[in-house]
Structure 1
Amino acid sequence: MLTLAPYLAQLSAWPSSGRHILAQFDADSIVVYQAFRAEIAEEAVRLQRFGRGFSLGRMSWIKPNFLWMMYRSGWATKTDQEHVLAVRLRRAFFERLLGCAVRSTYHHEYWPSHEAWQDAVRSSDVRLQWDPDHDPSGNPVERRAIQLGMRGATLREYAGPAILEVVDMTDFVATQRVLARAPYAELTVPTESIFEPVVVRYAKSAREAWPPS
């Protein structure tokens, strides 16, 4: 079960800039979000894992930040993103994603050559992006939000063994959508705080993307 709190009550506790993983988590789990068309989402909720409608043949992206998911899905109004799922994952699995993630774009300050980065991309099942976070109205803020893309064996693990719970957030999103305009006095969102990975040994690519400062 997800915990919820007023948006404005949480805003003052969130950093206004920098790269941060904002998420709902505990010692054993972390919540991430994805948006799908109805049949994929409904099947996942019923099975408590992803079923046949979920594509294992392409990169799939997860977002631990609820408002980042709301921005990307237009508060569940974009085509094929009308149903929002909260997926509670094993924390150890999420930590492992961070440990083997490779940035999705080449940065010369992190890699000796473009070819070296391409080799890392080919050898890893996980991509990492830091993108501008957004307020509830969709306006960009200085803070950066993380999203992680998965493929191959890692995606297959995500689709089933890594999942502890699948929650349909669609009705909740619909009730909050009409409140997602300034001054946000009545807007409620899942509680989130800064997630600090306990993994201390990272793959080279993840060290270059982490820590976020």
Structure 2
Amino acid sequence: MSPRREIRADHDRTSIVVYQAYPDAIADVALERQRFGPPFSLNRMTWIKPSFLWLMERSNWGLKSGQERILAVRLRREGWEAALELGVLTGFEPGAHGTPQQWDRDFQRALVHIQWDPERSLRGQSLSHDSIQVGLGRMVIGRYVEEWILSIEELTERVRKIRKLLDAGRAEQATRLLPREPVYPVPPRLMRQLGM
């Protein structure tokens, strides 16, 4: 049986892919510039997710208002790991924080929020293992946009195709179009902090 918490992601030696869903105005600029720009806001937390199917659940396969365009953002691994290093879990866990008071202090000051939610199947059911979401706060978003992003690719058409196959009862073909997400090797020093 695999551990309850693992980071599964499309990654290679130097990079990792995270997914985000946006309206046209933000997606068009991001794809043209290969980085985020106005109307994308540097002043509010932005959540990045390495699980494609978790984002499909969150955005209802790109059908939710304001989440119609699905982007695959390839980041430098050192940027991703810098974000994890700054992260504090969104809820108290004794193994990670010691005391509720310590967690509260750390959370109030946190530049990055880390949340674990049940991973999703192709049909949206909760699975027995969790998927990580990373919330980048205002003090970190500038680094995300300016330093960490290597490329931004649109997956909207692929998402529609997968959904169409799924709706037609062709789950096996739909599965073949999913991004490969092997286990990402989390540096041991971060595992306790991330509640792994």
**Offset at residue 200 of structure 1 (A):** 4.3
- 1:122 is paired with a residue of what secondary structure? helix
Percent of aligned pairs with the same amino acid: 36
**Equivalent residue, structure 1, for 2:193:** 208
Alpha-carbon distance between aligned partners in 1 of 2:125 and 2:160, rounded to the nearest angstrom: 19
**Offset at residue 122 of structure 1 (A):** 2.5
Letter in 2 for 1:190: P
After superposition, give the CA deviation of every residue in 1:39-83 in whole Å (9 maximum; x if it has no partner): 101110001000011112111110001111111111100111000
**Equivalent residue, structure 1, for 2:110:** 124
Quick one: which of 30, 34, 43 aligns to 1:57?
Answer: 43
Letter in 2 for 1:80: G
Contact conserved, 1:16 with 1:141, CA < 8 A, in 2?
Answer: no
- 2:73 is paired with a residue of what secondary structure? strand
Alpha-carbon distance between aligned partners in 1 of 2:114 and 2:63, rounded to the nearest angstrom: 25
**Equivalent residue, structure 2, for 1:192:** 181
After superposition, give the CA deviation of every residue in 1:132-166 in whole Å (9 maximum; x if it has no partner): 01111111111111110011221111122210000
**Offset at residue 16 of structure 1 (A):** 6.0
Quick one: which of 64, 70, 82 aligns to 1:84?
Answer: 70
Letter in 1 for 2:172: A
Alpha-carbon distance between aligned partners in 2 of 1:143 and 1:106, rounded to the nearest angstrom: 19
- 1:166 is paired with a residue of what secondary structure? strand
Alpha-carbon distance between aligned partners in 2 of 1:170 and 1:101, rounded to the nearest angstrom: 29
**Equivalent residue, structure 2, for 1:136:** 122
Letter in 1 for 2:154: D
2:144 aligned with 1:158: yes
**Equivalent residue, structure 2, for 1:115:** 101
**Equivalent residue, structure 2, for 1:94:** 80
Letter in 2 for 1:201: R
After superposition, give the CA deviation of every residue in 1:82-135 in whole Å (9 maximum; x if it has no partner): 001000000011111222210011234543433321211122211111100111
**Equivalent residue, structure 2, for 1:173:** 159
RMSD (Å) for aligned C-alpha atoms: 1.8
Structure 2 vs 1, CA of residues 92 and 45 (structure 1 numbering), >3 Å: closer, same or farther? Answer: same
**Equivalent residue, structure 2, for 1:68:** 54
Quick one: which of 17, 22, 30 aligns to 2:8?
Answer: 22
Alpha-carbon distance between aligned partners in 2 of 1:87 and 1:163, rounded to the nearest angstrom: 7
- 1:159 is paired with a residue of what secondary structure? helix
Q: Which has the higher helix share?
A: 2
TM-score, normalised on structure 1? 0.84
**Equivalent residue, structure 2, for 1:5:** none
